[in-house]
Amino acid sequence: MDDLLHQRRQVAFEPGLDLGNQRIANDRLERALAAERGDAIAQLNLGELLGEGTVVPRNRIQAFQWLGLAARQGNAWARNRLRPLAALMSADAIKEAKARIAAWRPKSN
């Protein structure tokens, strides 16, 4: 999370970024921070972003991790997104994502 805080500070003061892009970058970082604190909706959103790879680089292991964490909290949408995502992943990648879910703990502010 310290890396995310550092990135947020950099984005907030990065010269050359117009106000709209600064807001978008800060919004993404806020969502990531909320996901790390255990917010199921933020975890769902982050998982979908990572799975799609349109806004951030695609990372299916991380996508599965965040969707799995949201599903573990009872988020049905996240649970329904896991099966199609898993169909695109190797068995080793799924195993790694599940290990990350098992080891994950929410971070404090």
- pLDDT (average), residues 49-67: 90
- Is 68 inside any structural domain? yes
Nearest to 43 by CA among 109, 86, 107, 93: 107
Span 95-107, mean pLDDT?
96
Report how many domains make up the chain: 1
Q: Residue 74: which residues within 8 A CB-CB, separation 6 or more? A: 40
Q: How would residue 100 be classed by pLDDT, with cut points 50, 70 and 90?
A: very high
**Quick check: is 39 in a domain?**
yes
Does some domain include residue 23? Answer: yes
Enter the pTM of the model: 0.79
Q: Is residue 41 part of a domain?
A: yes
Higher pLDDT, 26 or 53: 53
The domain in which residue 78 lies consists of 2-103
Residue 24 lies in a domain: yes
Mean pLDDT of 96-105: 97
Q: Which helix (H) or strand (E) holds 94?
A: helix 91-103
Distance separating alpha carbons of residues 39 and 13, to the nearest angstrom: 27
Quick one: pLDDT at residue 109?
A: 63
Question: What pLDDT score was predicted for residue 56?
Answer: 78
Q: How many residues does the chain have?
A: 109
Residue 7 inside a domain? The answer is yes
Confidence band of 55 (pLDDT split at 50, 70, 90): confident
Region 77-85: mean pLDDT is 97
What's the mean pLDDT in 45-60? 88
The verdict on residue 95 lying in a domain is yes
Question: In b/e form, how buried is each residue of 61-93, taking b as 16+ CB within 10 angstroms?
Answer: bbbbbbbbbbbeeebeebbebbeebbeebeeee
Residue 109 lies in a domain: no
